[in-house]
Structure 1
């Protein structure tokens, strides 16, 4: 059984923090340099770029509920020193800017003061907020009943400001009143109680169980962390976090979860979508609208609810390629009688998908990502195909790695879906901007070359 749990407001904290920092930089720059720099807007844009690149390289915004104040101070210090160098580097190359040591000193002092004040205010406010309201907490269970596991449970219960609620121990090696259940009862308990994080004492489980547990966590969007031990963990990179002095190992998430990567991918999506809409759809849409209307009655656009990121529904747009019918949840098949003549051409060339660039602008989709399936396919394969639900941890795409690798179109057997999911998961776990460009290029080639599964 697979369940995809919806997120909290935590996902908004980093974007808000980034925006406020950039606003502070712009305000202080305008206040300090408005008379020294003739093109102040260009200088501010230059600072935004430098700040963003530095923040990405030193993980400036990777601050979690278990991050210590000393770590935050260290991040601010490194960010400030590197940003100071960026701010100074502008002046030797600009003839319209006057360099002043005092102005630079005032500028960096104000930036550090304001950013530090905001960051610590937010950090301590969230800790107090968790204590007073009990909101934004994470539920946790622990596999194993070792001294280290008990210490971790005590930490959760005594440090309420970290925002964890401990729900129980699971173990096959210990039997006492402290044990909530055996390992065989863990999965249904995690799903039924909407558990967020699973902490695993490695000397309690076999390698095969551990591998199965990792797959379960991936499929159900649960975070799994490990209490350090000497056993080897399979094929995935680990990072170490400290809950004060308690070390915890975590599986690294896909790069697509990183705020800077999200911003980069979103910026590319918006630029590419605007380009297609302005230079292609602006003249192609009226022509196709006339042809669609002439051949059959009905709207120009076909609108359908599809599962998107976090399995939230969005309205997916396409040029209508079929006659009006009541079987929209049934995917198209070869020689489908519902498809019109102009629709057959549009589907063969993928032109019917072009309105989804409006979905990209709206933020529902990305240019590249796992294709959004029908809800009926989610219900049919979500519980049958391993790692199926992982595709919902990122935005769906107009094109994807599975589509350019020959796994598009009609699903005639379960193996077709399994292969499609394998490519979707590979894309999510191995994303790069180069891979996006490669997929886009191959999509364009396939449009002109033709795809036998495009019908």
Structure 2
């Protein structure tokens, strides 16, 4: 497939790939629930207590949602286990054992253990485990048949005439016509992000001298990224890419699997919707104040770098005079900045100017919590951010946020020296490595302490 076909292919490919992944998770969850219920039902039938004693039914109905919650937390539905039947079985059995233990422990402490027939529960647990193993093995081994296709798409990027390795790829493209990993150009990164946003795996084949540049370029791409290294074949190495016939080194992986992305997205939608509804009077009053204070648009739209290094338009209440707006972000706001209006000074000090970004969250451009998005021309000590630290592009492996770990640690305001950026970058990378929904909630609560900050101007 040629480069000119990429946009049209992406339009049809991405929704299908995501749909198949959702379908795989939903079908596997249904298999798990059916296996657990059937195990206890068969046990009750063998002991002639299917109708006479409802204790097994109560136990099963309590166990099933608890199992689903624990299995999700153990990554039993992530993409890796959807492709490895033995990994899927191991995680499923772990979740089932923990869930059964929790229900039995709760029944003991509630003094209701006598309500559950012990032999039926014991036999049911064993049968549920057996059926769970069988269902997961069969489903994962025949995943493409069950869901109607391969939900895990892959792209092969061939750089500068490099040979095409063997293997099955959803798309094969020549990279040099639209992306040069040696040039740190935001527009090039945006084009790369648009392409790989639809993939679960990106493989690059290139000359040895270009591998390091590609590795750096792909670390912020929010997708598992590999570089073909055919000379490793003789070593038969372990822990590389899934195609053993053509060894490839994994240089990047998206920070969140599909299940975690679903949880984070639902959390963002719920919180952003509730916040917009509660803050509607404040938003209306601020809009009126901005319009009355100085002529011009109420909202300021600025191009920022988002997830996967893809650009988007971020919304803010306009806090500067129209004639002095800095769309590229070359100049950071200072404490006595003459570009800022009277109303602008108030809303910047209280962070009210950032509230329209709740709309960006609902659109999917941003998240409630994540690295703060930067303008293309942002500088630290007269250097562009990516010139200060080569790891800068790595921070874009997830959606940018309204708030983040760097902000709650007090790293905000103008970047006058290079360490101002490095401190933020280090916090952003730490956030990516240790994400959890509970940490997002903690950061949201901690944000309240830094809304009024000495560097907010």
The CA distance in 2 between the partners of 1:19 and 1:314, in whole Å, is: 32
- Counterpart of 1:76? 88
| Counterpart selection for 1:51 from 71, 75, 79 | 71
- Distance verdict in 2 for CA 1:384–1:121, change over 3 Å: same
Q: Is this contact kept in 2: 1:143–1:198, CA < 8 A?
A: no
- Counterpart of 2:44? none
1:243 alignment partner, SS class: coil
Shift, 1:349, TM fit: 1.8
| Counterpart selection for 1:20 from 7, 17, 27 | 27
CA RMSD in angstroms comes to 5.3
Q: Is this contact kept in 1: 2:221–2:309, CA < 8 A?
A: no
- Counterpart of 1:364? 365
Q: How many residues align?
A: 396
- Counterpart of 2:261? 262
Question: CA offsets, 1:395-437, max 9 Å, x none?
Answer: 0011234445565344567776566545544543455667656
- Counterpart of 2:226? 223
Instruction: Please state if 1:197 is matched with 2:203.
Output: yes
1:55 alignment partner, SS class: coil
Question: CA offsets, 1:194-246, max 9 Å, x none?
Answer: 99434799xx88xxx98666435536785336565999xxxxxx944553477
- Counterpart of 2:143? 122
Instruction: Please state if 1:61 is matched with 2:79.
Output: yes
Shift, 1:288, TM fit: 3.6
Shift, 1:309, TM fit: 1.5
Shift, 1:83, TM fit: 4.1
- Counterpart of 1:235? none
Q: Is this contact kept in 2: 1:37–1:98, CA < 8 A?
A: no
- Counterpart of 1:339? 340
Q: Is this contact kept in 1: 2:303–2:311, CA < 8 A?
A: yes
- Counterpart of 2:3? none
| Counterpart selection for 1:395 from 394, 399, 421 | 399
Shift, 1:62, TM fit: 0.6
Shift, 1:250, TM fit: 3.0
Give the 5 Å matches for 1:289-300. 289=287, 291-292=289-290, 294-296=292-294
The CA distance in 1 between the partners of 2:205 and 2:148, in whole Å, is: 22
The alignment's TM-score, normalised by the length of structure 2, stands at 0.62
Give the 5 Å matches for 1:152-163. 156-157=165-166, 160-161=167-168
The CA distance in 2 between the partners of 1:365 and 1:441, in whole Å, is: 19
| Counterpart selection for 1:85 from 93, 97, 102 | 97
The CA distance in 2 between the partners of 1:260 and 1:90, in whole Å, is: 23
The CA distance in 2 between the partners of 1:210 and 1:367, in whole Å, is: 35
Shift, 1:388, TM fit: 3.4
Question: CA offsets, 1:278-333, max 9 Å, x none?
Answer: 6x525544554554455456665545554421344445333343455583515463
Q: Is this contact kept in 1: 2:370–2:401, CA < 8 A?
A: yes
- Distance verdict in 2 for CA 1:87–1:416, change over 3 Å: closer
- Structure 2 residues without counterparts, runs of 5 or longer: 1-5, 42-49, 197-201
Question: CA offsets, 1:256-276, max 9 Å, x none?
Answer: 233454345445545654664
- Structure 1 residues without counterparts, runs of 5 or longer: 145-152, 169-184, 232-237
- Distance verdict in 2 for CA 1:19–1:353, change over 3 Å: farther
Greater alpha carbon shift after TM alignment, 212-221 vs 369-378: 212-221
